[in-house]
Structure 1
Amino acid sequence: MMKKQVYIKKSNDEVELFSFEKLRQSLLNTGACLEVVETIVSKIQLEVYDGISSNDIYKKAFALLKKHNRISASRYSLKRAIFDLGPTGFPFERLISALLKEKGFNTKVSVILDGECVTHEIDVLAEKDGNVYAIECKFHSDAKGSSNVRVPLYINSRFLDVQKQWNTNSKNKTHLKQGWLVTNTRFTKDAIDYGKCIGLTLLSWDYPKNNGLKANIDSLALYPVTALTTLTKKEKHQLIDKNIVLIKELANATKTMKSIGISDLRIRRILNEVEKLCL
């Protein structure tokens, strides 16, 4: 079939030429087999039209993939699943804390620290090899949100205030080395350039290239409960309210699942999906 050219509307309202090859690759990255992927891409080709939103294309692809392979569908939904962690940013902070623990850091979430001028609440405080890192998590509940240069400017000023107090306090046996800024969407070019210039570590959905949030979550299988296809939206948020954010936490949460009305049969199905996703 000859590929048709289609211009789509992105979440930030920009219009661009849709890449069927990017769709194909994103579906292959979920672990779906080539035959299934080609079937989905062929169906999408017949249904897309100029002006269709990227969100509508995602919904079509997700529904088709879910019919063939629920595990692949869960992986494919990761970006939306992180948006669904809201409306507060705390579950996202828990996710970032867990990611850093997997990388050998000791972490604490929501820590109040004195600065030289004022006190600050640090989203995640991480320590490794005697060095401490103050991490600010900028959570957005939709894809239109991005972090411009004003955000790292503000975060760096807070970090410097805390760093000066921390490193001059003789009671601290560690060194507050660096500030980090993490977001689930993207940074503008100015934000990235400023971060590089001042030594502020930046982590977004796809930055740094091949080592962004998506790549790290996939490699560590740190999927949020909102990615599961075997849970309803209501159940996902009931679990988050009970401080269960990661799917791997469900392995020891049978009582909690029962307490929100999930049957034994569905619990087995949920845990089966969890096991396959965590492989």
Structure 2
Amino acid sequence: MEETTIEIVKSSGEKAKFSIQKLRGSLKHSGADDALVEQIVGTVRDELYQGISTREIYNRAFALLKKSKSVFASKYKLKKAIYELGPTGFPFERFVAAILEYSGYKTEVGKIMQGICVSHEIDVFAEKNGSASIVECKFHGEEGRNCNVKVPLYIHSRYRDVKQQWEKSKHKTKKLDRGGVVTNTRFTKDAIQYSNCVGLNLLSWDFPKDNGLKDRIDRLGLYPITVSQLLTNREKQFLLSRDVVLCRQLAKDKFYMDHLGISETRKKKILSEIELICST
């Protein structure tokens, strides 16, 4: 039976009807085949009870995936792995820049740009095909904290200040024509409505539909190193401090592993896991 009357409690404290389709979709995103997906869905469904939290459901599905194949569990924990990029938010900015670079943009993180009124530190400055964009990254280290309308209001005012100064500088050969906000959580309806009205680009975990952060990561295979099941938290933080935010970066620049002070055997296991994540 696909329908269920079970009510679950989200991280925000909100109650909602449990969706088997959502669970099935998130499991498929991990790369698990249909048989394994249905097996896990069946097990989780049998263990549901009224008022179960989304965290409990996630933990159970994650444990079942990990038992079957570690790489599936790594991809399934993507959302949690992005929270682990914190606490400063800077690795998230590097992560967003990396995603843009793999989409053909040339990027600069933490660029100081002069506005008409004041100077601004821009999280990510991106250029492509003769046009430039400024992107602000709003990182939240915990679930349930969404971006309300105040965020795009603030970012759009900064964008306009920078744009006015940019247009006064006649030596500029590129056109500054886009401002945007990227968050690892979600935007409220008012935030989306306002941004659509003023032409501000938004990117969140699941917005725009079918082209949100999770979709782009899956499509491009740009998984953060925090998805790894084998790297310790200390090792992840060491790599992040050296601007290694993607599994692809670590697979390409293996010399970073030499600075972790680990055995050759463990190094090979970690690289094998990382390459598997990048290739599937």
Both proteins in one fold, TM over 0.5? yes
In structure 2, relative to structure 1, the CA distance for the partners of 1:3 and 1:211 (3 Å cut) is: closer
Query: What does residue 33 of structure 2 align with?
Result: 33
- TM-score if structure 1 supplies the norm length? 0.96
Give 1:259 deviation, angstroms: 2.0
Secondary structure class of the residue paired with 2:52: coil
- Conserved 8 A contact 2:4-2:18: no
Deviation track 1:157-203 (CA, whole Å, cap 9, x = no partner) reads: 00000000011102322111110111111000000000000000111
Query: What does residue 70 of structure 2 align with?
Result: 70
Query: What does residue 11 of structure 1 align with?
Result: 11
Indicate yes or no: 2:55 matched with 1:52. Answer: no
In structure 2, relative to structure 1, the CA distance for the partners of 1:112 and 1:231 (3 Å cut) is: same
Match for 2:71: what amino acid? Answer: I
Give 1:131 deviation, angstroms: 0.8
In structure 2, relative to structure 1, the CA distance for the partners of 1:159 and 1:2 (3 Å cut) is: closer
Query: What does residue 189 of structure 1 align with?
Result: 189
Match for 1:33: what amino acid? Answer: D
Secondary structure class of the residue paired with 2:265: helix
Number of residue pairs aligned between Structure 1 and Structure 2: 279
Q: How does 1:19-168 map to 2 (within 5 A)?
A: 19-168=19-168
Secondary structure class of the residue paired with 2:177: strand
Match for 1:174: what amino acid? Answer: K
Query: What does residue 265 of structure 1 align with?
Result: 265
- Conserved 8 A contact 1:3-1:45: no
- Conserved 8 A contact 1:258-1:264: no
- TM-score if structure 2 supplies the norm length? 0.95
Give 1:4 deviation, angstroms: 5.2
Match for 2:29: what amino acid? Answer: N
Match for 2:243: what amino acid? Answer: N
Secondary structure class of the residue paired with 1:234: helix
- Conserved 8 A contact 2:122-2:135: yes
Give 1:39 deviation, angstroms: 2.0
Match for 1:82: what amino acid? Answer: I
Deviation track 1:33-73 (CA, whole Å, cap 9, x = no partner) reads: 22222221222123221111101110111111011111111
Structure 2 unaligned regions, length at least 5: none
Query: What does residue 199 of structure 1 align with?
Result: 199
Q: How does 1:184-263 map to 2 (within 5 A)?
A: 184-263=184-263
RMSD (CA atoms): 1.5
Match for 2:110: what amino acid? Answer: S
Match for 1:77: what amino acid? Answer: K
Structure 1 unaligned regions, length at least 5: none
Match for 2:226: what amino acid? Answer: T
